[in-house]
Amino acid sequence: MTISFYHYPKCGTCRKAKKWLDEHGIAVKDIHIVDHPPTKNELETMWKKSGLELKKFFNTSGQKYRELGLKDKLAGMSEDEALELLASDGMLIKRPLTTDGENVTVGFKEEQFEQVWQ
């Protein structure tokens, strides 16, 4: 089973997650989240499988998020609009985004990776 690892190479959290995966012998398909962001349909599938709130998929500490004033706008958006926005710019997506088609993790927490990816 292939694990897709959507990441941004300059992101420290992504590098930590990749190092953890490498150290545990877990092979992943590296996907640059800015050059090849997941599509709206892929994001919708990941979101539904993750069991998380859709807002957890947003990179709330990112410059783009602040520039667009999404903190105030997100609550008034439909799920469709939010997914469309996420798919339009990989920098808006919290990273790394890791999935094998069934399991999904957003961001990197070592305990979560141990539960899901080991």
* Domain at 65, CATH number: 3.40.30.10
From first CA to last CA, the distance across the chain in angstroms is 13
Average pLDDT of the chain, as a whole number:
96
pTM of the model as a whole: 0.94
- For residue 13, give Cα distances in angstroms to 56, 68, 76, 103, 110: 16, 23, 29, 19, 11
- Say how many domains are in the chain: 1
What pLDDT does 42 receive?
97
- What distance in Å separates the CA atoms of residue 3 and residue 18, rounded to the nearest whole number? 12
pLDDT score of 12? 96
**Of 49, 31, 18, 40, nearest to 113 (Cα)?**
18
The per-residue pLDDT for range 58-95, each reduced to its tens digit, is 999 999 999 999 999 999 999 999 999 999 999 999 99
Residue span of the structural domain in which 78 resides: 4-117
Q: What is the pLDDT of residue 69?
A: 95
Q: Strand 4-7 relative to strand 29-32: parallel, antiparallel, unpaired?
A: parallel
Could you report the per-residue pLDDT of 6-37, keeping only the tens digit for each? Answer: 999 999 999 999 999 999 999 999 999 999 99
